[in-house]
Chain A
Amino acid sequence: MTNGADDSGVGRRTSRRSFVRRLTVGGGALAAGLAGPARSPAAEPPAPADPTRELGHPVSPYGTRSRFETAVRVQARTPTSVASWTFTPLQDSCGIITPSALHFERHHAGVPDIDPARHRLLIHGLVRRPVVLTLADLERLPAVSRTHMIECSGNGLTEWATPTMPDVQRTHGLTSCSEWTGVLLATLLGEVGVEPAGLWVLAEGGDAAAMTRSLPIDKCLTDVLVAYGQNGEALRPEQGYPLRLVVPGWEGNTHVKWLRRLKVVAAPAQTREETAKYTDLLPDGTARQFTFVMEAKSVITFPSGGHRLPGSGLYELRGLAWSGRGAVRSVEVSTDGGRSWQAAELQAPVLRIAHTRFRLPWRWDGRDALLQSRCTDETGYVQPTLAELVAVRGLRSHYHQNAVQSWRVAPDGRVSNVHA
């Protein structure tokens, strides 16, 4: 499940290079075997020639993936690695769940080290019964589990003017999908009693950025989760351990991690993250504010940038689609740059506000092809082309780039990121 894309554009080049070097060095040991491209780190012994004739490893308390699996998040090229982000390797994913260890990251001041026994959630402001809750308190309350994708509204920000990133990890990898478990915020707000003047909720993280966002009370009373579980275990530290908001369908920044405080207020606090950042500049110099919803989007993950098809023949095109407004109704795929479209098959279950896997058999004739996918969600919204989006938003709005993605398959089988 590797892809051969180079590292231009993003990432900590040195660490990635030394990683690649390790892989190359390890190659000699396995080259003669049947394992395909060698991936084993040099220091480790090769896998047995015949595993049916040797005892395996003993049982272990907490499992890890095979040492031959190498899919990793890659970091954006930012001045510091604590205020930065990493991309999920979508090209290596299967199904609709993102492994917790590969869920994309976005931190504004690093990942805090939080002792859950000492963590507290304060709910106050325009409420009748302000409260301090421990994790044990929260776990006593009725729990729900919901599978939702979270997408950063900066996903694809490099792709407005020119096709910039080499692969789907870096064009689309700021979206990930998990099963989240926690308490509905509506349950908590019902218990503390919101005053009539309470129209917004200010959510604050317990990290070094004490990051804050204001959320309208209606959303908070609908489907927002105060989550402590991810994919069957506690949240990962990078995902907000021990407590985060999950705000289904809204931009990732609102899903405040390391949640320590919810203050019910009358009006938005106009925090830095809802003024200086996460606002969308238009050509006339005004900017849209509180652009919460992540609109319908899809992308082909195989084949995608950096892949090389070995030759003409029958392939299965695969991809992911999602919408912050609900379920994906349909995905269409074009192999001729949008002149003709075919309906892809959606893999069940198709969940609301979650990654949805689509597939379509495709016989490649070995000639130039332009692969695109376009999804329609349950509201009837159709994913726009880049030209349609740019006509309305211009090239400087940075966030909320949900345009149709194009991959060119060249006659030599190489797949690259293009604007069509």
Chain B
Amino acid sequence: MAPLLQVKDLTVRFDTADGTVQAVSGVSYDLAPGETLAVVGESGSGKSVHVLAMLGLIPKPPGRIAGGQALFEGRDLLAMSERELRSLRGGAIGMIFQDPMSALNPVLSVGYQITESLRTHMKLSKKAAMARAVELLDLVGISEPQRRVVHYPHQFSGGMRQRAMIAIGIACEPRLLIADEPTTALDVTVQAQILDLVRRLRKQLGMAMIWITHDMGVVAGIADTVQVMYGGRVQERGPARQVFRDTRSAYTWGLLQSLPDHDAPPSAGVASARRLVQIPGYPPDMMNPPPGDPFAPRNPFATERCHSEVPPLVQAPGASPGHMVAAWYDLRTARAGAAA
């Protein structure tokens, strides 16, 4: 099957007064129709910027696409005019952004903002669009949608605004949904309901998704493929189960280690006696990133080469097909050596 989206060597820079931020460096991947890709990783690793860049939504300047391609159904998004992009955004490509307060217009009612995309992309009448907006609010679990549809963003709680954003994102039944931390502001029962909804849409419409999140539990429940980013680069990518079970990047391993133990009994009062595992050191300064593997300075298993040369993303030795890692070290032998 031809990929729905092919990202090739995407590189994004921000030229600021203090220097150039190397936000995204050489990111490449394919996304098949109907596939769900979860993108996880460090805060500031370029997760949001890499999708915003594809959609033509980074401020230029200071932003600049320094190289690469992003082929959506064969057409390069990075070479499109703003007009062409606008006809895709909110139509064939649905979007849910990280920050609903700044993505929603404070002076327009929530209902109006949902109907906007229905009217432009689906050519619905005003009345039909409003009816559909109510339906969408109901779908994302907002109670009394009839009454809520005329409210303004500030009258919604954080989680309700997030759900309004989700309603806008899925309004036109997109072929690709790009969601940047869409459920982090929601309680877990609503989150579960949203996940059920997008799973259903995925099945019914064959919708593909790029789902950016920090919640490894959500990743476990939704992702076909997981991509782990650090310092503007992909550190590891593979089938979800493999990335959890047969982790190959020291950064991914650090992330999984730092989660609170799901099975440990809660022991209130002695919290100070326990600690969560932290990854030592600081995230890199993306104006002066380390010359080699960006994670090397914090990686206890780093080899000399890790400090001087950027490792390419390649098939991990002995792992399932499609399980890729960017590492000069072999995490399996390094961990075995450390344990011994």
Q: Do A and B bind each other?
A: no
Q: B-contacting residues of A (Cβ < 8 Å)?
A: none
